Structure 1
């Protein structure tokens, strides 16, 4: 609630950006506003169309809450030879008030004001009734009116250093400006390149000129009115989404509310053109926005979901049994502002917890203010706030209180790359006990099959791996891959239904090249793609984080550790559709990675619980995963893999320890695959150490792994291939130890078809259910140097017909 004078203005109650909407015969443009004792007086050009004739007058509408506006009235007479219009501002001088404006002379049927157009003022005592207009001879007493030249769009401003001196800015040869001490005698001072509809004001001893280029709202600044520079890029607000402003956004006017009690912002009025394909010249509507920094504008616009028929949630999409109270502290104390640590509440920047209200500008304005202060706290509390992409900077704590939520907009295009982005940021904290929500269901198409919940009163379906190479379209309905793929919601047109892609963002939270990051006591929910991507970061702690995703939204990895080093994942609960905790190192990181510690976590996923891969161009080393639980409590199929270690694109993966892991209903407990997919197109080389021939997997220790209800064998595989000259290239996995492995099969039926020859898995996507059946039920190994299997006990299903362990081209020492 913002208190303004004698009235209350609640920004949260403003339903949209339009203040005065264009009608069939009337348009509103060129706004100027004045605030006095709780009332906003909005002046503008009123465009009235009658048949083939069109008339301009100065109009007025009033409001005491910026929500309800009075019926517009004309303050000037219709007169084609004058056509008073384009009010600049209401200016106080020697106890009186003057409204400056233009004439837009069109007495000869012109479309635009002719060379007789000049600038005037009208005096008022009550802001509603005005004296006759008086010409401003801004070119000087010695210049005759007929020699002054065409001039329009005036604005008056007091000099920042000499309060008795008055400046008049007006459109002529760019923007020209003159000065006076009495509003009668003027001296021409100069000009600068600028658009039209100038609004001038001083902020912190600097002159700012808001102006209108061909389209959009521009901003210049100057210390001395001689040297001008751009104060920021041209702002188009959300024009691309507004049919009522499709032709142009222009004529920005800033109403300074910074000194009004409880306000502290600037109110922007502007107009949006819609000339209805030429049938209504000058047709326009007046809009309104709020800003604190002249850069980020709250436009009061509601989101318009791009796919309004999506967003459905079905039983089984979410796991309802997450013990949040074991991970999330709802009593975390909200930071209090101090000189050393200022707090920036997003509500102070115009954010409103209204369903569908887009608050991107408020989030960004708070983040920018935090950056300008050298750091501090961005506070989100008391409601759910919809936003598009916003960026965080150095020394920032994003505190989402337990009663607060950051919610991704459902409107395509408002999120670029990710909902929350930090790039090159140091000393970043995300915490508070609240929630960041991605609205993932709104960015993907409906599944072909609804979730399949396991029930005690019906038998578990048989386990069936389709033959290797079976295309997704040809999968039999009994295949595990068929059953989870048909339940996944994709953003792509996987079934050739001519619907195109939903073009969803790549990530929900994207931290790139960041240092010293702590994410703790926060819920990440309903991601639209990768949930948390730690890209080329260093010194990161992720602790007491709950990831609660729709378990059928494609590509919703839980935590992606992408080319990052010195990362600790501590005591997190992850429920998601894609890989739970992923270590990967694609080509664009450009660096090796090491020192990853994952411990005391629980992971539910239909894909891989812990995975290294598949994007593996640069080296990965020194990985420790311990004391974790990987399980699927309620869905069919179960988790695809518990532990997956995959080098497909040239990475050397070494020194990996995974220990003290409990698994339940994980289809394949262990999958290790080295192949030569070569995703990044490394050219052919005769040198077998080239990334063309894949990388290495070396020094892997898996110990004290307990798995219940496994369904397919563990696979450990290198490869052997032929070079262009017919030479054999063998790449074995190396120094693999499995110790203390206890596993019990789910005792259901199985459909097994082991091929006569199990082909090399050279360039396919490394995933166990794409590998096909093998001739062992427990552990199947091929191309391995120095394998140790110690204290291994695997109990098969009753229907089993295969051997426990099969080794091919394996050297134990």
Structure 2
């Protein structure tokens, strides 16, 4: 493995040391460039068609106000029953809008039904209880890519059609260092003498790897696996629009095994451990647009199940469009993995802005030979990164590293028209020698200031065109 030194980079070196990579010569590249341009244009046309054909739920005009069912906006009275009663009554008539307005309400878990639009008006807030017992009985859920019976997500829908969460109001999970987040159990978040998730997490991993039935994986009462905030599970036609979500126990938006999902105009802000912004997992046809992320973990992370459970379900995440979003703090802006054993295909990210001293990575793929997965047809264009630690990361040595028998397949990755202001490191691209990354295209990319060019190794078919680092052309 060879690296350019910072001294050489800052002197404007025009070449870059790459190990284990292949690249065609000029005449061949001229043909390849023309063919690639046509194929990428066709891919982006397909992306627009996918977005245009995602089913967005519509609802009858009838409205059910939760106050008519006994909800009280005083932050102290428990409005759980009133909210769920309003949902049940609305569903019984064929569906419509369940309205939350007029102040701040306290609630336990909210379970959506088919044909329900839970609408939180601007100025209204639902604050969620912090007692874990409120999220019992256990429900069928997925935690870090493994199916189990666990605490109910704060807002949950199971096998429903036409569900929505809309409005300019706020959902507040009320998580804090001493509430929910302490279950993480590390030096940053753990409290002395407080139980943590580690034992339960390890036990769940072992059960999933052994293929034990999901109904025998009970991880609610007496365990410490934090629930997702919003989780539609095996749902069709899902809309999450305009809402603000803060202080989440765990992942904020977690659509799982869903089809036709639209996430639009949401404001996601939670800086706790594992506060991923939006994690579509094993979903098909997803549009994420015009959203804002300020999160304690990945802003967007595309997933498809972990290890044996991901391979057992064999449900890839596919046809994902991410556009016009802004990412601030987070472990990564647009991320694929790490629970990616079921594979991913056809991901399109465009016109996104990322920047923060606290943003660790811009575009990131994370997997290993334990996770595996086939990851293909991944496109990013017209994005800007202001300040970031690592700009482009494809890492086959994530977490457990090279410790399994399921080599990942990563192929047909296109990054074009990317501008980065300051990267501490440009590339961290590392395939396996026995299983290299295949066909990586980096086109018209500018890194205005970089402290370290980083590493590229084990890429079969590295295509670089019009790439500049610190004002110097970047070539092989």
Fold match (TM-score > 0.5): yes
> Separation in 2 of the partners of 1:576 and 1:694?
30
**Displacement, 1:504?**
6.2
Is residue 2:393 matched to residue 1:655?
no
Q: Cα–Cα, structure 1 residues 390 and 548, in superposed 2: closer, same or farther, change >3 Å?
A: same
1:617 aligns with 2:338: no
Q: Check conservation: 2:129, 2:174, Cα contact below 8 A.
A: yes
Q: 1:678 to 1:668 in 2, by over 3 A?
A: closer
How does 1:57-456 map onto structure 2 within 5 Å? 341-415=61-135, 416-441=151-176, 444=179
How far apart are residue 605 of structure 1 and its match?
Answer: 1.8
**1:710 and 2:426 matched:** no
CA distance in structure 1 between the partners assigned to 2:74 and 2:338 by the alignment: 41
The aligned length equals 366
Distance 1:671 1:490 in 2: 30
Root-mean-square deviation (CA, aligned residues, Å) is 2.5
Pick closer, same or farther for the CA change 1:601–1:676 going to 2, 3 Å: closer
Whether 1:567 aligns to 2:301 is: no
Does the CA contact (< 8 Å) of 2:426 and 2:450 recur in 1? no
Determine the structure 1 residue equivalent to 2:184.
492
Q: Aligned partners of 2:442 and 2:179: how far apart in 1?
A: 40
Residue number in structure 2 paired with 1:232: none
Q: In 2, Cα distance between the equivalents of 1:411 and 1:779?
A: 46
Whole-angstrom CA distance in 2 between matches of 1:698 and 1:678: 22
Q: Structure 1 residues 346, 442: CA separation in 2 closer, same or farther (over 3 Å shift)? A: farther
Alignment of 1:517 onto 2:238: yes
Deviations 1:72-121 (A, max 9, x none): xxxxxxxxxxxxxxxxxxxxxxxxxxxxxxxxxxxxxxxxxxxxxxxxxx
Structure 2 partner of 1:745: 449
- Report which structure shows greater RCO (CA 8 Å, sep ≥6): 2
Alignment of 1:755-770 (within 5 A): none
Instruction: Tell me by how many angstroms 1:363 deviates.
Output: 1.5
Which residue in the other structure is 1:785 paired with?
460
SS in structure 1 of the partner of residue 351 of structure 2:
strand
Paired residues of 1:647 and 1:694 also in contact (CA < 8 A)? no
- Deviation at residue 712 of structure 1 after TM alignment: 2.0
Shift of 1:806: 10
SS of the equivalent of 1:500 reads coil
Give SS of 1:369's match. helix
Residue 251 of structure 2 corresponds to: 530
CA distance in 1, matches of 2:450, 2:249: 33
Whole-Å separation in 1 of the counterparts to 2:463 and 2:475: 13
Shift of 1:371: 2.2
Instruction: Specify which structure has the higher proportion of helix.
Output: 2
Would the alpha carbon gap of residues 715 and 500 (structure 1) be closer, same or farther in structure 2, given more than 3 Å must change? Answer: same
Find the aligned partners of 2:398 and 2:184 in 1 and give their Cα distance: 26
State how far apart, in whole Å, the 2-side matches of 1:626 and 1:542 are.
15
1:457-512 per-position Cα deviation (integer Å, ceiling 9, x unaligned): xxxxxxxxxxxxxxxxxxxxxxxxxxxxxxxx653332483221383632111111
How far the C-alpha of 1:413 sits from its partner, in A, is 2.1
Is the CA contact 2:379–2:414 (under 8 Å) kept in the aligned structure 1?
Answer: yes
1:656 alignment partner, SS class: strand
Bigger mean CA offset, 349-358 vs 693-702:
349-358
Give the Cα–Cα distance (whole angstroms) in 2 for the partners of residues 534 and 661 of structure 1.
25
SS at 2:90 equivalent = helix
**5+ residue gaps, structure 1:** 1-337, 446-488, 685-691, 721-729, 748-776, 797-802, 808-813
Once the two structures are superposed, residues 706-742 of structure 1 have per-residue CA deviations (whole angstroms, 9 ceiling, x without a partner) of 111211231111114xxxxxxxxx0100000111111
- Asked if structure 2 preserves the Cα contact closer than 8 Å seen for 1:674 and 1:696, the reply is no
Q: 1:305 maps to what in 2?
A: none
In structure 2, C-alpha distance between the alignment counterparts of 1:605 and 1:641, rounded to whole Å: 10
Candidates 501, 504, 517, aligned match of 2:196: 501
Aligned pairs for 1:459-474 within 5 A: none
SS at 2:249's partner residue? Answer: coil
Range that drifts further, 598-607 or 588-597: 588-597
Conservation of the 8 A alpha-carbon contact between 1:647 and 1:697: no
Q: Is the 8 A contact 2:425 2:454 kept in 1?
A: no
Secondary structure of the 1:606 match is coil
Task: Please name the residue that 1:596 is paired with.
Answer: 320
CA drift at 1:443: 5.3
| 2:362 is equivalent to residue 627 of structure 1 | no
Q: TM-score, normalised by structure 2?
A: 0.72
Structure having the higher Rg: 1
Answer yes or no: is the 8 Å Cα contact 1:620–1:653 preserved in 2.
yes
Tell whether the 8 Å contact from 2:464 to 2:475 is kept in structure 1 after alignment. no
Distance in 2, matches of 1:607 and 1:804, equals: 29
Structure having the higher strand fraction is 1
Deviation readout 1:337-392 (Å, 9 max, x if unpaired) = x9x54322111221111123222111211122222222121110001111111200
Q: TM-score, normalised by structure 1?
A: 0.43
Q: Aligned equivalents of 2:374 and 2:390: distance in 1?
A: 23
Q: Distance in 1 between matches of 2:324 and 2:264?
A: 10
